[in-house]
Amino acid sequence: SEYHDDDVLFEVALYYSHNDIREYEEALSILNKINHQDRIDVQANMAWCYYKTDRVDEAIFRAQQVYLQDPENRLATITLYCAYDYKKDWKKCIEWADKSIAIDSNFAQTFFIKAYAQYEQLVGGVETLFKDSAGKIQDFADMAYQTAGLSANEYMSTVTSFSASLL
């Protein structure tokens, strides 16, 4: 369907970008139709969608541009935290985590708690499936960005899904 109003497009893109991970590409497609030069909200959501579609360097670039224009933009700082976590750049990851918490401690803490909870659940799955070799799988997960372009959580999720399908 054809959209003409930027605000309608933005709302549709928000629906896609918060609904299902497979639809982040659709959200990006819609966001790109908006005249987004002066819209920080659109730029911040584009950065998040780029991160969610594994275009981490583009996400970092866009989120940094948003942050320069609006240092209080929590989505930009969260995107930068996630992107640097994905790249295993711990120094920058911690820097952006601190900035996220400084902007909105409730929002950021909830986000980080969910990510850590997912990590713990995945570690439990790895330990269940791999028993004595679980530590080795976790070591591989820590190197997954460099070797496979995946975050530790994505790597463990992929490994446990694949391994469980073989059982």
DSSP-derived secondary structure for 90-122: HHHHHHHHHHHHHH-HHHHHHHHHHHHHHHHHH
Burial code (b: 16+ CB inside 10 Å, e: under 16) for 127-157 equals eebbeeebeebbebbeebbeeeebbbbbbbb
Mapped onto helix, strand or coil, the DSSP state of residue 9 is helix
DSSP count for the chain of H helices, then E strands: 10, 0
Q: Could you give the 3-state DSSP secondary structure of residue 39? A: coil
- Reading the chain (167 residues) residue by residue, the pLDDT tens digits are 444 455 555 566 566 555 566 678 878 887 877 766 778 888 998 898 899 888 999 999 999 999 999 999 988 998 999 899 888 787 888 888 889 888 887 766 776 777 777 778 888 888 888 888 888 888 888 787 677 777 777 788 888 887 777 77
Strands (E), the chain: none
Nearby residues of 107 by Cβ (< 8 Å), 6 or more positions away: 74, 78, 100
**Measured distance CA(58)–CA(39) in Å, rounded:** 18
Q: Does the model's pTM come out above 0.75?
A: no
